Amino acid sequence: GMRLLSWNVAGLRAGPGLAGLGALDGDVICLQETRVTRDLLTEPLAMVDGYNSYFSFCRTRSGYSGVATFCKDSATPLAGGAVGCYGDLGAFTPQELKALDGEGRAVITHHGIRTSAQQETTLTVINVYCPRADPQRPEHVAYQVSFYRLLQGRAEALLRDGGHVVILGDINTSHRPIDHCEPGDLEAFQEHPGRRWLDGFLWVPDGQGLFVDTFRLLHPSQPYAFTCWRIDTGARLTNHGTRLDYVLADRALALAELRDARILPEVPGSDHCPVLAELAATFVPAPCCPSLCTRHMPEFAGTQQKLSRFLVRVERGAGAVGGHGMCRGAGVGPRCSARRGRRLPRGQGDLLRYFRAAQGQLGTGMGQNGQESGQNASGHGTREPAQDAPGQRGQEAAHNAPGQSRQLEPMLGQAAGTQLSSMAHWRMVLRGPTLPPCCPAHREPCALRTVRKPGPNHGRRFYVCARPPGRSSDPRACCNFFRWAGKGHS
């Protein structure tokens, strides 16, 4: 059989890492939102032992969007990238096609397979990262709808050309109310343009769609099967999320070959979790990688990383590993080790030294403005007479002339009083933020948040229960406490 896996990693360089991908053991692993452009692609990301990879880069912004498909050598594709049969593109202007293809949101690999009936045919895998539709920005909704139409045209044209097609990726729309933690008004929910597109694109019994949601085919009524959660509210803890990630197979392939479809919420590393489908069919690998494989890029030709390299702990401060230039464009290796031991510029002290110096003032009589006795009020290094450091002067006098100690007692008392008043002043200035109220249900300090949506309350701050959102029956979920921040609000 074969394991097809999809995962929005929310950044390949800072995300779960390729060691985590190897543990998932997918024959074809489709990653979205890699945030890697050609100039940021390094050998450890592109060249992994046992896999050949295919990247699509955003051409309009650096560190944005992007997808990558990793194929096991036993699933080496026949072709990659532009695999023809993209259907009638007459409905799109050249400018629209350039905009839709310019963000690196899709990569295609074309494979030979052998079905469970021992018939050899082809399978085209479309790895896709669909754009998000922001309801507050109509142009984003229109862009998403155009992208869906183009995706559908290409997938159906490939299907008509023969063989099978699977679409894996972040579709960025929850299809049914069961796929959303807060669907709200059902009529408004179903009128969403992305959901209307999915209604026509996907097959249901007695329906016309050509593709099948593999998870819902096997689990039509499973609730709370979410794949994406908000990180800032901790919603993953209470499974308060949405299902945005899909494996969509053509109807004939799904009905004949689908064996399992699962969501893997236990896998950490991103605000999304992986989803996978297992088919009874097997791959028939090509004898060599197609030209668009990353191993054919000039900067990577002749290099290959071992997957075990990512499973072995590397001591901090190590330089380039294996002679492959791990520091290239990555900010690691010798540059990082030098940064760890770098010396601060002259005149710039670290915070720990600052507080040590502040503690020393109480015993050594440093000036009340936090300046050493060798500096004047302007901060320059001109030496001042001894009376600017009364504590120090008193100690020296007491040591050199014991009979004068009684005369110095009032001066020492005055210095201590000055220091105490200075400390009280700083306590008043640095008293910190106002303590938040506690929610009545849990008696726990609330979280301070800011209104981000446009409107009359934009920018206002408010307090809510700090626990993550969730179902009312979940004791771990937040309560409904709300209070505006600032004076005059109760």
**Residue 193 and residue 196: Cα distance in Å, rounded?**
5
Q: Is 111 a catalytic residue?
A: no
Phi and psi torsions of 29, nearest 5°: -115, 120
**Residue 242 and residue 179: Cα distance in Å, rounded?**
6
- The catalytic residue among 110, 164, 240, 272 is 272
Asked if residue 180 belongs to a known ligand binding site, the reply is no
Structure tokens of 68? 């990558």
Asked if residue 179 belongs to a known ligand binding site, the reply is no
Asked if residue 457 belongs to a known ligand binding site, the reply is no
**Residue 55 and residue 74: Cα distance in Å, rounded?**
19
Residue spans of alpha helices (H) in 163-263 = 186-190, 193-201, 214-218, 251-257
Asked if residue 111 belongs to a known ligand binding site, the reply is no
Environment class of 414 (CB within 10 Å of its CB; exposed 0-12, middle 13-18, buried 19+): exposed
**Residue 343 and residue 359: Cα distance in Å, rounded?**
24
Asked if residue 73 belongs to a known ligand binding site, the reply is no
Give the 3-state secondary structure of residue 449: strand
CA-to-CA separations, 308 to 49, 217, 321, in angstroms, rounded:
8, 37, 13
Asked if residue 164 belongs to a known ligand binding site, the reply is no
Q: Is 463 a catalytic residue?
A: no
Helical (H) or strand (E) element with 159 = helix 138-160
**Residue 8 and residue 31: Cα distance in Å, rounded?**
6
CA atoms lying within 13 Å on the CB side of residue 402: 0
Torsion of CA 454, 458, 463, 467, to 10 degrees: 30
Sign of CA dihedral 101, 106, 107, 110: negative
Residue spans of alpha helices (H) in 11-117 = 18-24, 43-46, 94-101
- The catalytic residue among 170, 213, 245, 250 is 170
**Residue 455 and residue 464: Cα distance in Å, rounded?**
20
**Residue 35 and residue 51: Cα distance in Å, rounded?**
20
**Residue 192 and residue 472: Cα distance in Å, rounded?**
26
**Residue 62 and residue 85: Cα distance in Å, rounded?**
30
| Residue 14 DSSP label | T
**Residue 303, beta-bridge partner list:** none
Q: Is 134 a catalytic residue?
A: no
**Residue 184 and residue 92: Cα distance in Å, rounded?**
34
- The catalytic residue among 51, 129, 246, 463 is 129
Binding-site residues for Mg(2+) sit at 8, 33, 170, 172, 271-272
Question: What residues are labeled active site?
Answer: 129, 170, 272
Binding-site residues sit at 8, 33, 170, 172, 271-272
